[in-house]
Chains A and B, each alone.
Chain A
Amino acid sequence: MARYMLQRILIAVPVLIGVSIVVFLMLHSAGGDPAQQILGPRADAESIARLRDEMGLNRPLAVQYADFAQDALKGDLGRSYRSNDTVTDEVLSRFPATIELAMAAMLIGTTIGLIAGIVAGVRRDSFFDYSSTLGALLGISIPTFWLGMILIIVFGVELRWLPISGRVNPRLGADPSAPFLVIDSALHGNWVVFRDSLEHLILPALTLAGWPAAIVARMTRAAMIETMDLDYIRTARAKGLKESAVVRRHALRNAFIPVVTVVGLELGGLLGGAVVTETVFSWPGVGKLAADAILARDYQVVQGVVLLLAAIFIILNLLVDLIYSWLDPRIRYA
């Protein structure tokens, strides 16, 4: 197991380097001149040339990348030209809001997906099975941003039950960039902020949970159906176990293996989906930061966010691999 883990970790390093090269090249090679974009359309040629020189844009791409990589290893990802803050600070200060949203969405998505998938798989061809299959189809077919807008219309505009933008009511004096606002305010006994931030979290989390709930439900149903037909389940039934015990004690563990993969991979997708969801709900996370930076052509910030999320995605994949091989020892020896 230790050898397998080491192998997998060693593979992740070149992937990370490769991703940084791809992102760097995408933002630095083709397309317009960053110096021109920073100075605006009315800048004269001389100032553009001076800024290009200052930014090191006249050097060969390989040298620029080497510099960038060296700084990145020290935690320096450059500066945002809009705020003049360091990209690292900007990204790190927005990141906790994204984690809170993604965790809430994953929790909701996985719970709904697992329950729907298990029940649908065990009671195949029942009314519940058909409804959950239809629900899962809708979940993978409805665009995330539109789901968000529909939730806003129903729960925010028509019923007026929940707030539709931001993370917490600014009048309450809570810091909107605080990590885990919901849990933190509960721990400090600040129930007013707790209730308000929880209410702000519900709609974005439901929006972001739609896709993973659908994927997990589909995967769990297929895995349950496959497992329930296996011989060892027949044996368990034949020795007189109750059906609920057969499902709980025998089928679930086996069915969980493909589900773990999906959950891990979807968590990465969630971080990407956060860009869209955070834009719909003006949620102050890295997704909104990236979307705003792209429209303002603040490429240093875009680069920082993409690299951070890609790195997390790679690490999550690594973790999934390790959990997977722990659940199913055959994979280690394949």
Chain B
Amino acid sequence: MEILITEPLLDRAPRVGGRWKRIGRQFTRNRLAVAGTVILLALAVVAIVGPFLVADPRAQDVPNRFAHPSRDHWFGTDELGRDIFARTVNGARISLASALAAVAVALSIGTTIGLIAGYLEGKVGLWLMAFIDLLLAIPAILLAITLAARLGPGLTSAMIAAALVGLPAYARLARGSALAVKRQEYVTAAQVTGTSRAGIIRKHIFPNILTPVIIQSTIGVGNAILLVSALGYLGVGAQPPTSEWGRMLSDAQKYILTEPYIAIFPGVAIALTVIGFNLAGDGLRDAFDPVVKR
């Protein structure tokens, strides 16, 4: 960690919106963060518009199976003659949507648990955090496959499993921040003036924990994409003929000895997406936290 002592001096005259401007500047100056954002924007465009522009990802053309990449089929065709490019593009929508949904659920439930545990402390807080620690005591992928298998294989089960695995990180983060914030004078002032507990959590504590939660959720989406695709690969996530990237790779492995090209593009797509979220997440962390720069 490198300590930049110049930063507090620059901050001598805070103006309205000055903090956000500084964060924005810090973020755009970080070339890796910008690269990550560009990847994510491109992916968002592909996920939203792409499926309308490409061929039907489920259309089979068996005589034309295992066609190598060409001008007609950019990424080639699979064992049923389906266009791998069309399937990969559609997979972007499936992967992004499922990962975002998983993170949204994990974030809302996790943050709520953490806030309550942090603000109330006492017995309720202890029990809540004991539950969270239990979830952390089971290796993530095992927790996810157990749950996904029990709920029955499918994309929804994979999403619920990814949400459950992601949840503890937000709970811990929110609890830590809530514990720190509640000892501040303005929270004591609100208590003295008779604001309700729910009101204090909502108005005073919640806004203060947003930053770490946003940073965590950016990296969390990348992890959720990895987990959902791993569950698809293991057969407990998305089922055929869904063009989910992990599932596509699981099918591709059956032909890996003779047609290895089928296994290339969906994997590149997963890796690129996760790289995008990791770079953007790291960039956000550095931008929000300029004093301590890793």
Residues of chain A having any CB pair with chain B under 8 Å = 15, 18-19, 22-23, 26-27, 30-32, 137-138, 140-146, 149-150, 152-153, 157-158, 222, 225-226, 229, 268-269, 271-273, 275-276, 279-280, 290-291, 294-295, 297, 299, 302, 305-306, 309-310, 313-314, 317
Contact = CB atoms under 8 A, between A and B. Distances in A.
Contacts of B253: 149, 280
The 10 closest A-B pairs by CB, nearest first: A272-B139, A146-B267, A141-B274, A294-B149, A272-B141, A153-B260, A141-B275, A226-B1, A18-B134, A31-B150
Nearest to B145: A294
Nearest to B3: A229
Contact of B275 (A137, A305, A310): A137
Contacts of A229: 1-3
Contacts of A23: 138, 146
Nearest to B277: A141
Contact of B2 (A153, A225, A272, A306): A225
B260 to A, nearest CB: 4
B134 A306 contact: no
A19 B135 CA distance: 8
B246 to A, nearest CB: 7
Contacts of B226: 143
B59 interface: no
B5 interface: no
27 contacts: A18-B130, A26-B146, A138-B275, A140-B274, A140-B278, A141-B271, A141-B278, A142-B267, A143-B226, A143-B229, A143-B267, A145-B249, A149-B253, A152-B256, A225-B2, A225-B294, A271-B139, A272-B140, A275-B141, A276-B230, A280-B253, A294-B145, A294-B149, A294-B234, A306-B143, A310-B137, A314-B137
A306 B138 contact: yes
Nearest to B253: A149
B133 interface: yes
A54 to B, nearest CB: 22
Contact of A222 (B149, B235, B236, B294): B294
B271 A144 contact: no
Contacts of B291: none
Contacts of B274: 140-143
Interface of B: 1-3, 130, 133-135, 137-143, 145-147, 149-152, 222, 226, 229-230, 233-236, 246, 249, 252-253, 256-257, 260, 263, 267, 270-271, 274-275, 278-279, 294
Contacts of B246: 143, 145
Contacts of A30: 150-151
A226 B294 CA distance: 9
A15 B147 contact: no
Given A153-B256, A153-B260, A276-B233, A138 B151 contact: no
A140 B140 CA distance: 15
Contacts of A280: 253
Nearest to A268: B139
B172 to A, nearest CB: 14
A317 B137 CA distance: 9
A229 B252 CA distance: 49
A51 B188 CA distance: 61
Nearest to A227: B1
Contacts of B278: 137, 140-141
